[in-house]
């Protein structure tokens, strides 16, 4: 996917990338599966709508921060050539479907504040902060290789894909479904009998009516969490209630549930949790599913592992302004240095370890 060397031209305020940010962003793409890096544009345009869009060669020419960073990135990619063709290690999948996105954002729905990308981004952000890598896959994908599957706002889902998620959980997987999921079939027809329709049996719940919140309105849960946008009149029918509302339109009504299904578990999140509560929820899900980060790292340090057979590479991208030390064994490809137990990554820098075979 194309990206920019620095500022774009189409935002209200087009902020330039800070020194080192071009490199970190680009190598983060490689860490997460890219086999190349693509920029628009080669030389900054002199005229036209995109004349202030950044480029590999800016208006000021090659004696610039941008061009020097582009050249350094080229050398980095040459040093990382052996990574090409490997796959990202991910124990978590996030289900994503364009048709569900189109469907959920049609008009005449219960709340204009329910948007498709909202919970998708929130859950992904929590995983990122936890140092956990996730694949973003279609609901029809093979889920058997994942320990945890997150299902954000999957408003529209086919019978086959809903059944596949049920089988995944029965076989030992952990799944978490957020509100306004499973509501309609592939033709955007309501699934009758109570929400969340396609996932009602899996989750062991039944919602009889939606109670969306007014703009700016918040509710509290009895586990200390804060939420907004959405509540619903939910009945636990086989599910364990983990948290209920203490105020708002539905005090005492369940908001967070969990149901044991076969060898796995299915969680339901019936409201829009704020960021701290989402982080706590994701931490519980990761613990239950047995998912760990690629390496132990402090906040702000991105760690991702790519693998090809019995070979593996650990990417460590330091987005902070302080030096960090990580456990690592192998060769650091960008410098050629040997790592015998510990890797030092300076502030704002990137390291890629070809890991010793364990």
Q: Which two tokens stand for residue 212?
A: 């969306």
The predicted pLDDT at position 18 comes to: 96
pLDDT band at 228 (very low <50, low <70, confident <90, very high): very high
pLDDT band at 358 (very low <50, low <70, confident <90, very high): low
pLDDT (tens digit per residue) in 164-218: 999 999 999 999 999 999 999 999 999 999 999 999 999 999 999 999 999 999 9
Q: In angstroms, rounded to a whole number, what is the distance separating the alpha carbons of residues 184 and 356?
A: 49
Looking at the whole model, is its pTM more than 0.85? yes
The predicted pLDDT at position 16 comes to: 97
Average pLDDT estimate for 83-89: 95
The predicted pLDDT at position 1 comes to: 80
Answer whether 205's CB lies under 8 Å from 254's CB.
yes
Among candidates 278, 267, 275, which has minimal Cα distance to 181? Answer: 267
How far is the CA of 41 from the CAs of 7, 19, 27, 28, 253, in angstroms?
12, 19, 18, 20, 54
Spatial strand order of the sheet with 301-308 comes to 87-88, 301-308, 311-318, 350-355, 329-332, 338-340
pLDDT (tens digit per residue) in 42-53: 999 999 999 999
Answer whether 242's CB lies under 8 Å from 176's CB.
no
Q: In angstroms, rounded to a whole number, what is the distance separating the alpha carbons of residues 293 and 291?
A: 7
Q: Which two tokens stand for residue 90?
A: 């991910």
pLDDT beyond 90 at 357: no
pLDDT (tens digit per residue) in 274-295: 999 999 999 999 999 999 999 9
Q: How many CB atoms lie within 10 A of CB 308?
A: 13
- Computed over every residue of the chain, the mean pLDDT equals 96
């Amino acid at each position: 996917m194309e990206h920019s060397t620095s500022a774009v031209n189409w935002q209200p305020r087009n902020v330039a990338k800070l020194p080192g940010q071009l490199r970190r962003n680009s190598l983060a793409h490689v860490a997460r599966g890219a086999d190349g890096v693509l920029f628009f544009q080669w030389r900054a345009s002199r005229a036209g709508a995109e004349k202030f869009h950044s480029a590999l060669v800016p208006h000021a020419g090659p004696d610039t921060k941008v061009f020097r960073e582009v050249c350094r990135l080229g050398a980095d990619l040459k040093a990382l050539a052996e990574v090409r063709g490997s796959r990202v290690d991910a124990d978590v999948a996030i289900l994503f479907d364009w048709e569900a996105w189109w469907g959920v954002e049609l008009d005449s729905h219960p709340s204009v504040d329910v948007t498709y990308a909202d919970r998708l981004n929130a859950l992904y952000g929590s995983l990122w902060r936890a140092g956990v890598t996730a694949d973003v896959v279609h609901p029809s994908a093979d889920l058997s290789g994942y320990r945890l599957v997150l299902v954000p706002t999957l408003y529209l889902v086919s019978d086959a894909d809903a059944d596949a998620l049920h089988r995944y959980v029965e076989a030992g997987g952990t799944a978490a479904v957020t509100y306004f999921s499973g509501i309609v079939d592939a033709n955007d027809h309501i699934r009758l009998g109570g929400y969340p329709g396609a996932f009602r049996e899996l989750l062991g719940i039944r919602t009889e009516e939606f109670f969306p919140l007014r703009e700016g309105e918040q509710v509290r849960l009895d586990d200390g969490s804060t939420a907004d946008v959405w509540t619903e009149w939910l009945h636990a029918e086989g599910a364990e209630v983990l948290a209920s509302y203490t105020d708002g339109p539905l005090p005492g009504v369940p908001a967070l549930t969990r149901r044991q299904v076969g060898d796995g578990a299915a969680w339901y999140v019936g409201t829009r949790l704020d960021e701290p509560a989402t982080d706590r929820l994701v931490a519980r899900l990761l613990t239950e599913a047995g998912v760990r980060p690629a390496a132990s790292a402090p906040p702000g340090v991105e760690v991702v592992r790519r693998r090809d057979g019995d070979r593996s590479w650990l990417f460590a991208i330091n987005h902070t302004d302080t030096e960090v030390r990580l456990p690592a064994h192998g060769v650091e490809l960008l410098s050629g240095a040997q790592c015998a137990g510990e890797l030092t990554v300076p502030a704002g820098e990137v390291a890629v370890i070809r890991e010793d075979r364990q």
